[in-house]
Amino acid sequence: MSRPPSLSSRAEALQPSLTLAISARAKALQQEGRDICSLSAGEPDFDTPPFIVEASIQALRDGITRYGPSAGDPALRQAIASKITNENGLPTTADEVLVTNGGKQAIFNLFQVLLNPGDEVLIPAPYWLSYPEIARLAGARPISVPSSALNGFCLDVQALEAAITPATRLLVINSPGNPTGRVLSLDELQQLAELVRRHPRLLVMTDEIYEYLLDDDIEHHSFAAVAPDLRDRCFLVNGFAKGWAMTGWRLGYLSGPGSVIKAASALQSQSTSNVCSFAQRGATAAIEGSRDCVKEMAESYNKRRTLLVQGLQALPGITLFPPKGAFYAFPQLPEACGDSVSFCQRALEEEGLAIVPGGAFGDDRCVRLSCAVSRETIADGLSRLARLLPAR
């Protein structure tokens, strides 16, 4: 038998997704007939609101089935620009917007067009697990700056600044954050802006994909709106997946200075061409429509997040910073539980509980649980977790 082809060094260096490995194992066990309780979901448990689906179906009936402009449907680019202008307080034009295949491709395109081999990307931990991999694919070095559940994953601006070197090119900010559910306050954003002002070569990417999923008492601020003087160094990533329950549609966007958007569009034209044309019609309906559906879903996550948080806080030895946004909780486990990967493997094999190891997000003492599941599943998951913890 001939040997399989050798892989590129890029592919060799790529970390397989731990979250996908856990869900694959959970599915395999389920197929064997095991009773599995999964709190590992990274997506809404709602269907896409019907008016969005209808707009896309109508587009198909209208023959919107051909290639489109690689930067996106002009109507959608304009609708996104208006949304950013009016909701986020950042005056934006359509040529400062690129429609992408999900928020993930917005990040991928941005890193590809901004970063050179050897550049460093500063990523506060815990972080969404794809940032370091996407940085590596661009030849850059992800530099993670830790924080701790013990102080509520508070952003340590001094530690961030200490990690800046002449090679540092980009700072990644994600608020509301995955996996912690942490929402950066106005004061924290202002401190970050001060830091960025002190380092004129530093660019900033803000991932605001969970902007609508917030507790009632909290507000989302776009970094560039807090620091308008830094506007030409800021890039905003967002998408339709989480707010409008459109994960499978693959619709996101990148916004920032027109010259970079143009380069990212050229990259897109040579890779994926354009985002699915009739799906973009659905996205236009979503963004131009009322936010009532988004608010209803957010309220439902809020109630279930409270349930999850209360349940976790009642467990022995758990340190939990109460999340204020997104649909996750990221508790730190008692030391006796060991590293997060072995704990999650044990949780799955012994209790049929699927949760995500914090190691994947840069904090091996924690695990991620989702509240985008039914109340019964949350209660069941908490009982299974309780049985895995050492007695106090």
What does the binding site for ligand PLP look like in residue numbers (CB under 6 A)? 42, 102-104, 128, 174, 178, 207, 209, 239, 241, 247, 252
Please give the distance of CA 160 from its chain centroid, rounded to a whole number.
Answer: 20
Q: How far is the CB of 210 from ligand PLP (least distance, A)?
A: 7
Angle at 204 between CA 265 and CA 267, to 5 degrees: 15
Closest CA to 131 of 152, 146, 116, 110: 110
Which residue of the chain is nearest ligand PLP when measured via CB?
Answer: 102
Within 8 A by CB and 6+ apart from 32, the residues are: none
In terms of CB distance, is 180 or 377 closer to ligand PLP?
Answer: 180
- Strands 97-100 and 252-255, bridge-based pairing: antiparallel
Cα–Cα distance, 231 to 298 (Å, whole number): 29
In terms of CB distance, is 238 or 384 closer to ligand PLP?
Answer: 238
Query: Three-state DSSP class for 66?
Result: coil
Tokens representing 140 are 């850059």
Cα–Cα distance, 80 to 82 (Å, whole number): 5
Tokens representing 236 are 């905003």
In terms of CB distance, is 241 or 356 closer to ligand PLP?
Answer: 241
Cα–Cα distance, 2 to 112 (Å, whole number): 35
Closest CA to 222 of 251, 252, 197, 186: 186
In terms of CB distance, is 123 or 196 closer to ligand PLP?
Answer: 123
Q: What is the DSSP string of 229-250?
A: GGGGGEEEEEESTTTTT-GGG-
In terms of CB distance, is 123 or 378 closer to ligand PLP?
Answer: 123
In terms of CB distance, is 210 or 321 closer to ligand PLP?
Answer: 210
Tokens representing 243 are 């707010």
Q: How far is the CB of 172 from ligand PLP (least distance, A)?
A: 10
Q: How far is the CB of 208 from ligand PLP (least distance, A)?
A: 9
Q: How far is the CB of 256 from ligand PLP (least distance, A)?
A: 16
- Strands 141-145 and 120-124, bridge-based pairing: parallel
Q: How far is the CB of 166 from ligand PLP (least distance, A)?
A: 28
Cα–Cα distance, 184 to 152 (Å, whole number): 11
Cα–Cα distance, 77 to 35 (Å, whole number): 45
Q: How far is the CB of 308 from ligand PLP (least distance, A)?
A: 17
Q: How far is the CB of 237 from ligand PLP (least distance, A)?
A: 7
Q: How far is the CB of 144 from ligand PLP (least distance, A)?
A: 15
In terms of CB distance, is 282 or 352 closer to ligand PLP?
Answer: 282
In terms of CB distance, is 205 or 337 closer to ligand PLP?
Answer: 205
- Strands 37-38 and 353-354, bridge-based pairing: parallel
